[in-house]
């Protein structure tokens, strides 16, 4: 193949692989993405570019594929609204977080549908994804998830078909069956929650069919335009055994919400792998574990920032929800409240890079997840980005320890 002049810029592995696989004209540079040459990921990308420039195409291609085989780290962004700030700033921070994730080599960023929560601004999930996608280049983006009982499958097929058409190869669609809010939300959505939840498996199948290629032999009565033919990857999300069973039965990837409800994590992972049925969507089970990660230079600093999440969970169990609170030095939690929230926070990793390595390696050894998706709900945005940097810096150590076990 003809060599491309990649110049002095550093391009992502995704962009370089598309060039090597002939998905771009040989005389056209890969799309730019803000890859920092001074990060571990940036140095890796720079090394691949050096191989391309030297004409070592097979080695460069192998290096790209090798990167794809590492343990992926991803980000769950809840679009937190903090005290002293506003929703507009939350959206700006979402863009900045996704751009940092792209630069650092995270695999995907997901956003969740929640309603009637003043601290979470991602209720119009597909609209937020469109904004983030317009300000990033290569990272995958998606819903983690859309609460399908709140919507008709046709509308979601059209929304995510639009996203996938505008940003091909970058959009995911995770689906949950919870309402994403309380009884007042259910009434406001004009939904029969029990009937909608019972219909969830059929609605998932209908949604997948709406995004499948057009079939002359079996045309649908209603077509999703756009949406038809986009085949957006669908995931099942859950915090109980139902989601594990459904994902296994349908042969779909499965993500477990252990960042807030880890009680059935181990059983759900085991059931999903045991009962998985290969499908046209997925040949082998693919399990993603969600966890909270607060990484910092010192354990004291990490615990300080973690107090923001502890206060949020205290508000959940006491019915006093509010905006995300600033961290508190030496936060004291009453024993009865601590007993309630500690099980909910068991899927967390807090501390220095070494402590994060140990915690994630323990999860990896016990559960063998195919991917980690990490919630980092810091009060201070700069501290969140630093946590992302420190966490990505230990990914290979986590993978190595897990493989050696």
Q: φ, ψ for residue 228 (rounded to 5)?
A: -55, 130
Helices (H), 21-171: 40-53, 57-68, 87-104, 125-134, 153-166
Instruction: Return all residues near 129 (Cβ < 8 A) that are at least 6 apart.
Output: 111, 141, 142, 143, 163, 171
Torsion of CA 332, 338, 341, 346, to 10 degrees: 90
Give, in degrees to the nearest 5, the angle at Cα 250 between 228 and 221: 35
Determine whether 389 is exposed, middle or buried from the number of CB atoms within 10 Å of its CB (0-12, 13-18, 19+).
middle
* Per-residue confidence (pLDDT) for residue 36, from 0 to 100: 59
Q: What are the Cα distances from residue 245, in Å, to 227, 253, 279, 369?
A: 27, 11, 14, 17
| Environment class of 320 (CB within 10 Å of its CB; exposed 0-12, middle 13-18, buried 19+) | exposed
Non-local CB neighbours of 397 within 8 Å, separated by 6+ positions: 357, 361
Q: Give the integer Cα–Cα distance in Å for 259 and 375.
A: 7
CA angle (175 as vertex; 173, 181 as ends), nearest 5 = 125
pLDDT of residue 255: 98
Give the chain's residues under pLDDT 70. 1-8, 14, 18, 21-43, 65-69, 179-181, 190-191, 193, 405
Task: State the DSSP H helix or E strand holding residue 236, giving kind and residue range, or none if neither.
Answer: strand 234-238
Instruction: Tokens 């050894």: give the residue.
Output: 365
Residues 6+ apart with CB under 8 A from 131: 91, 94, 95
Could you report the per-residue pLDDT of 133-155, keeping only the tens digit for each?
999 999 999 999 999 999 999 99
Between CA 98 and CA 89 the distance in angstroms is 14
What's the CATH number for 71-295+340-404? 3.20.20.30
Domain segments of the chain: what residues? 13-67, 71-295+340-404
Q: Tell me what pLDDT residue 69 has.
A: 61
Question: Under a CB-based contact definition with an 8 Å cutoff, are residues 305 and 383 in contact?
Answer: yes
With b for 16 or more beta-carbon neighbours within 10 A and e for fewer, the 89-107 pattern comes to: ebbebbeebbbbbbbbbbb
Tell me what pLDDT residue 29 has. 44
Which of 46, 142, 127 shows the shortest CA–CA distance to 373?
A: 142
The closest of 351, 347, 374 to 363, measured between CA atoms, is: 347
CA 107 centroid distance within chain: 8
3 state SS of 329: coil
Structure tokens at 173: 């669609």
């Amino acid at each position: 193949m003809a060599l491309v002049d990649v110049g002095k810029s550093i391009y992502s592995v995704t962009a370089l692989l598309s060039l090597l696989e002939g998905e771009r004209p040989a005389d056209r540079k890969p799309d730019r993405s803000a890859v920092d040459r001074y990060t571990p990921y940036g140095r890796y990308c720079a090394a691949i570019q050096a191989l391309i420039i030297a004409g070592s195409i097979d080695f460069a291609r192998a290096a790209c594929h090798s990167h794809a085989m590492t343990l992926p780290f991803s980000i769950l962004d809840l679009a937190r609204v903090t005290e002293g700030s506003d929703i507009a700033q939350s959206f700006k921070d979402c863009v900045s977080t996704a751009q940092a994730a792209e630069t650092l080599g995270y695999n995907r960023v997901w956003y969740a549908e929640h309603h009637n929560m003043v601290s979470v601004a991602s209720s119009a999930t597909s609209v937020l994804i469109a904004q983030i996608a317009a300000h990033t280049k290569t990272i995958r983006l998606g819903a983690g998830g859309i609460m399908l009982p709140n919507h008709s499958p046709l509308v979601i097929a059209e929304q995510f078909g639009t996203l996938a058409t505008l940003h091909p190869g970058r959009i995911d669609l995770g689906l949950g069956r919870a309402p994403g809010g309380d009884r007042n939300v259910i009434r406001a959505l004009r939904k029969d929650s029990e009937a909608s939840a019972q219909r969830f498996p059929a609605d998932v199948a209908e949604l997948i069919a709406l995004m499948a290629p057009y079939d002359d032999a079996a045309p649908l009565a209603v077509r999703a335009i756009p949406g038809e033919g986009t085949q957006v990857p669908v995931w099942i999300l859950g915090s109980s055994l139902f989601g594990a069973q459904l994902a296994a039965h349908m042969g779909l990837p499965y993500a477990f919400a252990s960042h807030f409800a880890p009680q059935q994590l181990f059983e759900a992972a085991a059931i999903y792998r045991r009962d998985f049925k290969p499908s046209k969507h997925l040949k082998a089970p693919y399990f993603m574990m969600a966890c909270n990660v607060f990484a910092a230079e010192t354990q004291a600093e990490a615990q300080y920032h973690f107090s923001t999440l502890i206060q949020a969970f205290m508000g959940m169990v006491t019915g006093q929800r509010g905006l995300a609170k600033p961290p508190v030095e030496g936060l004291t939690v009453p024993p009865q409240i601590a007993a309630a929230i500690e099980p909910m926070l068991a899927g967390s990793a807090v501390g220095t890079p070494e402590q994060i390595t140990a915690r994630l390696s323990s999860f990896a050894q016990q559960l063998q997840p195919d991917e980690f998706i990490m919630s980092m709900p810091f009060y201070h945005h700069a501290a969140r980005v630093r946590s992302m940097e420190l966490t990505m810096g230990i990914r290979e150590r986590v993978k190595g320890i897990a493989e050696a076990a």
